[in-house]
Structure 1
Amino acid sequence: MCVSNNAIELQAYRFSEKIQESSSYNIVRVDFIGGTFLKCDQGISLRDEVQDIANLPLIKNLILQTKSGKQFCVEPDELGLRFAEGELSYRQYLLAKKQKSRQMLYYTFGSTGLFTALAWAFGSYFF
């Protein structure tokens, strides 16, 4: 039985498709990890541009463009989808992304502190 190991790549691809379907913006370019990118023509879906979904590289950013030509860079995730649907302004999107990064740092520091305290308690109890 063959199991797919590219779950993160597929999730980013699915979010990219959702952004393209539910957005009033056009996807102009798709940036992949490693510096490669794919320019998308107007009216052509991402599915048509990418032939082999099984070997899809990780999508890093989507460049969205309004009808007036203004471009926005979003990541293919929940926040990017909310921006594309119009729930968030670009400024709110950037602030939410920054808060999410801070929250992950707090969780990392908190769990590191917890494990350090547990190791100290374990060491002082047995030694």
Structure 2
Amino acid sequence: MCFSYSFIEQQTHEMSKKIWESSLYKLIRVDFAGGNCFEVQSRLNDWVSLETEMGNKSALITKVILEDLEGKHYSIEPNDNGVRFAKGEITYKEYKILQKKGNALWITIFIVGILVFFTLMSVLVKFVL
């Protein structure tokens, strides 16, 4: 399965927009791939003006930094779990646990895929040679 990079960028922008629109927290910064970031100004009141101000709509958003009323910062990824945290459906601790589980799942799938590949290759070598 192969996705174009622009599709992934578009998805991160859509998730970031959902976080912006439904968040209980204040969006203060957007981090991009490559180490660039954009500090969100308080005068920006909608996602379109934010994207216009950022200038580079096609950059991959890697993190969104939120701030609560007490000034505590939360770094979340623009995905379903991030949206759930921003809406207040889950706590930050639950968000981090879900992220770790998701990462562990992808690592497991990758390792199993490699093992299946090597098993099939060894079977193929036995029957060919």
Q: Give the structure-2-normalised TM-score.
A: 0.87
Report if aligned partners of 1:26, 1:42 keep a CA contact under 8 Å in 2.
Answer: no
Q: State the identity as a percent.
A: 29
AA paired with 1:92? Answer: E
Q: For 1:42 and 1:55, how far apart are their aligned partners in 2? A: 20
Superposed CA RMSD: 1.9
Out of 46-55 and 77-86, give the one that drifted further: 46-55
Q: Which moved more, 1:112-121 or 1:52-61?
A: 52-61
The amino acid that maps onto 1:46 is: W
Q: Residue by residue, what CA displacement relative to the aligned partner does 1:54-108 show, whole Å, maximum 9, x if unpaired? A: 7421111100011221110000011111111112110111111111111111101
**Residues of 1 paired with 2:107 and 2:43: CA distance?**
40
- Are the counterparts in 1 of residues 29 and 38 from structure 2 also a CA contact under 8 Å? yes
1:30 aligns to what SS in structure 2?
Answer: strand
The count of corresponding residues between Structure 1 and Structure 2 is 124
Q: Which runs of 4+ in 1 moved over 6 A?
A: none
Question: What SS does the corresponding residue of 2:24 show, helix, strand or coil?
Answer: coil
The whole-number CA distance in structure 1 between the counterparts of 2:32 and 2:80 is 18
Corresponding residue for residue 94 of structure 1: 96
Give the equivalent residue in structure 2 for 1:47. Answer: 48
User: Which residue of 1 is the match for residue 63 of structure 2?
Assistant: 61
**C-alpha distance after superposition, 1:27-73 (max 9, x if no partner):** 00001111111111235233212228774211111000112211100
Q: Which runs of 5+ in 2 are unaligned?
A: none
Q: Structure 2: how far apart are the matches of 1:114 and 1:67?
A: 50
Distance 1:5 1:91 in 2: 30
Name 2:124's counterpart in structure 1.
Answer: 122
1:53 to 1:114, Cα distance in 2 relative to 1, 3 A: farther
Taking structure 1 as reference, are residues 55 and 48 closer, same or farther at Cα in structure 2, changes over 3 Å only?
closer
